[in-house]
Amino acid sequence: MKHMIVAGNWKMHTTAAEAAALAAEVVTLVGKQGGTAPTADVVICPPFTSLDAVVAVTADTSVHVGAQDCHHEHHGAFTGDVSASMIRAVGCSHVIVGHSERRRYHHETDTLIASKVLAALAEGLVPIVCVGETLDEREANITTQVITTQLETILQIVGAERMQQCIVAYEPVWAIGTGRAATAEQAQEVHATIAALLAKAGVHVPILYGGSVTAENAATLFAGADVYGALVGGASLKADAFAAIVAAAGAQMQ
Ligand code: PGA
């Protein structure tokens, strides 16, 4: 049986009040699922300014809360940044690192991302480590090469033992926010590559797919042998769509 995880990345959406309302809806809908059947782990990742409110709403529920990024240092003169220890202190259990929007708009490198992973782990947070190729890279047939370089660089710095504490997310950049998800075959192919690469180092972690996951395509994507859930952007902002994706993940666990 696969243990499935569905994480919602709310990106730069929701004020604290809106986030609390959305989180309450997610708690209600996800909480109704399952009964005695196993359900997927659920993580929601609102903006920093909404973390406190969402932690309050989800306290004593099965819904976990994560941040969307963290700084690699614990404190210091880093205007505008937020450390892993601050994220932990507010009550989060997870943090997304290396999202393609951070790589693109904040010029984050694999080396920097690895140091964020270490900072997160030092605080007991579970890093959700994102990798993925651009459209140009896929069309140039270098997807495997790109993913391998990203993961090997991170793995070398983080080390296999610590990497084992992470979740990996495969997010093809061309599929993010475009409505053009990878096909189940495309996703599974890269997930298998990632799983094999990590297995060589003795690392066996859940690998989530991200990029235009919807209530409609989730079940097909989740059928892939190495697909252990999803990192969901747009569809995670609608509680019913997100809950349907969580249900599709749960169905893989029965
Ligand atoms: P999307 O975003 O589901 O809106 O494509 C996914 C992500 O960026 O994590």
108-to-36, 42, 57, 159 alpha-carbon distances in Å: 43, 27, 32, 20
| CA 153/CA 149 separation, integer angstroms | 6
What pLDDT shows up at residue 32?
76
CA distance 63 to 183: 28
Ligand 1 atom 9 nearest Cα: 233
Active site residue 99: yes
If we measure between CA atoms, which residue out of 207, 177, 203 comes closest to residue 189? 207
Pocket test for ligand 1, best of 171, 221, 245 (most atoms within 8 A of CB): 171
Please say if 171 is a catalytic residue: yes
Q: What is the pLDDT of residues 170-191, one digit of tens each?
A: 999 999 999 999 999 999 999 9
Low-confidence ranges of the chain (pLDDT < 50): none
Architecture (CATH level 2) of domain 5-26+41-51+65-251: Alpha-Beta Barrel (3.20)
Query: For ligand 1, is residue 177 a contact (CB within 6 Å)?
Result: yes
pLDDT in tens, 125-158: 999 999 999 999 999 999 999 999 999 999 999 9
Rounded (10°) CA dihedral 106, 205, 233, 80: -30
